[in-house]
Structure 1
Amino acid sequence: MTAQPQPIDLPAVKDAVEEITKEMFACSDRGEATKRIGPLSEVDTRQFGIAILTREGDLVCGGDADTPFSIQSISKVFSLELALERYGEKLWDRCGRDPSGDPFNSIIDLERHKGHPRNPFVNAGALVVIDALLDALSADEEVQAVIDFVARLLDGEAFSLNEEIAEADRTGSHLNRALLSLAKHFGNVNNAIADVLRAYVRQCAIELSCRQLARVGRFLMLEGPDDRACPREDAARRARRILALMMTSGQYDGAGEFAYRVGLPAKSGIGGGILAIAPNTASIAVWSPGLDESGNSLLGTRALEMLTDRLDWSSFGRVRTR
């Protein structure tokens, strides 16, 4: 049964976005940009953007909402949607659905589970998901499938893929190569390691603004896209599954803290973006490049906590009666 939509007070949403944007720009503790990918380490951490797309189609933005940023691991949501559409429940023969208390790039966790990743949002899991897609597509076709999916949800609006970031990520991805080698050792990677890695870093290098990311997230907010060549119920079921995984695993080893503070399913990326979903209510994108210890946007998390508190949006129920 679909939960009844929470009422949306648009003036309250606009006021909250305006107040939160001011507070975020006034913050002195902004975290540090990732050092894992050279070009991303140079991004100005003084930036902050937020965009909210409501179920009625109203778009409310604040700060640097039109500045493109590298979505990085947020792209795992899109490749997971494509893999679930193609393979359905068979995908879980190769990847788990449990949260991990280890860092997102832990090789120890993968060894402990004999090449079977804990969930599709840790790096090992995302790589196995891409390998599954490569069983049917080439590396170029896999990336194009993700790009086409995003483009369709943006109604053809232009966006870019940053080749410099992709190449820097590819040449520096020694740990991801090790994860792939270990999974291949246990028989859970079928394709060439170079092909899987190339597809992975290129989809991570997609650049979207908060305004665009909130629009792309609409397919999860409304429980599945309307324009897919499959029954609406199938798309809605996939959306529900993905949201569950975003809640338990979307913020890596910080997922429990994030669920406690924010109360919405979300997926982060080390580029500083977070896509959060208030089911059947709103798709929310925030971005600030400074990260916390778990690799999630420090100000982005803080902004979402303030937003859900002020608007009383939570997957765990409402606090205020009206």
Structure 2
Amino acid sequence: MPDLTSVVEDIAADLSTRVERGQVASYIPMLAQVPIGQFGIAVTTAEGETITAGDAAVPFSIQSISKVFTLTLALGKIGDELWARVGKEPSGNAFNSIVQLEAERGIPRNPFINAGAIVVADAMLAGAQPREALGAILRFLRFVADDETITIDEAVARSEKETGFRNTALANYMRAFGVIQHNVEHALGVYFHQCAIAMTCRQLAMAGRYLAFSGRLSPSGPRVVAAERARRIAALMLTCGHYDGSGDFAFRVGLPGKSGVGGGILAIAPGKASVSVWSPGLDRHGNSVLGSLALERLAKAMRWSVFAG
């Protein structure tokens, strides 16, 4: 087996010279300002080591990667009742599409497209005010990442709210069907702010450990969620974690993963490692160009694909 540190360093060195990097998410003004020439990677292993390279210490907006953590919390809060309001199937459409909502009476296909994540944010409001829901999200992330410095970037949150017309339309449409059960503005407020959480690759790789190690922070460490719940979340990451590019990511990388339009990707090598990559340039599906390539190379070099023979 190749040396993991050497593999990570080689990937970072190679990708640092790559010219084609995609385009930053220009529809969110604050994200449009992020310099495209950055790349970071962090790998936290079952042995407790975290290997980093590139811009792994630079905070970035995790955006839709937050949906993994809010799904974890919402399932802990209301359990399998959530699945009456959001599905488990790939959408095949853009992450902010309203087409399927109209055909399927306001029930989103899965919790990782925008509509589904807004439903999850709404579930977080059961018995709680928006500030309390956001506090619970931040506390959970700080716990699983073992880092109290993780915060919400308020400038990004404002930028999202000021330009989030499509998400507002999605939320109101679902409210008309009773799928959103609380104040629409409150649900959207939680959603916009969770997407504006800023983390580094190192922090994000640490935060993903419970998904890599059957619900624990290490193979024999503290339990965060039941092993079955961690497995189910990872299954959704594999099938739905990259929007309408999920099939291609599974085909090329073969790991459960969740991307965000801030350019980050959290990927899980079950039993082996939690991996975070970041490069702000996106492909047409909204997934990091260099991040996807880095994970493809890492999974191949380390034979981490869940489909490896």
Sort the TM-score into its range (normalised by shorter chain): over 0.9
CA contact (8 A) 2:88 2:109 kept: yes
Query: Is 1:96 the equivalent of 2:92?
Result: no
Task: Find 2:131's aligned residue among 140, 143, 149.
Answer: 140
Identity of aligned residues (%): 49
Structure 1 segment 1-322 matched on structure 2, within 5 A: 12-225=3-216, 235-318=226-309
Change (3 A) 1:90 1:34: same
Amino acid aligned to 1:239? A
Structure 1: stretches of 5+ with no match in the other structure: 1-8
Alpha-carbon distance in 2 for matches of 1:296, 1:78 = 19
Counterpart of 1:6 in structure 2 is none
Amino acid aligned to 2:111? P
Scaled by the length of structure 1, what TM-score is found?
Answer: 0.92
Secondary structure of 1:26's partner? coil
Comparing 82-91 with 280-289, greater Cα deviation is found at: 82-91
Change (3 A) 1:137 1:256: same
Amino acid aligned to 2:285? S
RMSD: 1.5
Alpha-carbon distance in 1 for matches of 2:30, 2:217 = 37
Q: CA deviation at 1:225?
A: 3.3
CA contact (8 A) 2:146 2:206 kept: no
Alpha-carbon distance in 2 for matches of 1:155, 1:267 = 20
Q: CA deviation at 1:234?
A: 5.6
- CA offsets 1:115-138 (integer angstroms, 9 cap, x no match): 000000000000001111112211
Alpha-carbon distance in 1 for matches of 2:194, 2:179 = 21
Amino acid aligned to 1:66? A
Q: CA deviation at 1:279?
A: 0.6
Secondary structure of 1:299's partner? helix
Alpha-carbon distance in 1 for matches of 2:148, 2:121 = 25
Alpha-carbon distance in 2 for matches of 1:280, 1:59 = 15
Alpha-carbon distance in 1 for matches of 2:145, 2:122 = 26
Scaled by the length of structure 2, what TM-score is found?
Answer: 0.96
Poorly superposed stretches of 4+, deviation over 3 Å:
231-234
Secondary structure of 1:202's partner? helix
Comparing 267-276 with 31-40, greater Cα deviation is found at: 31-40
- CA offsets 1:168-202 (integer angstroms, 9 cap, x no match): 10111100010011101111111111111111111
The alignment of Structure 1 onto Structure 2 pairs a total of residues equal to 306
CA contact (8 A) 2:114 2:167 kept: yes
Amino acid aligned to 1:148? R
Alpha-carbon distance in 2 for matches of 1:246, 1:300 = 16
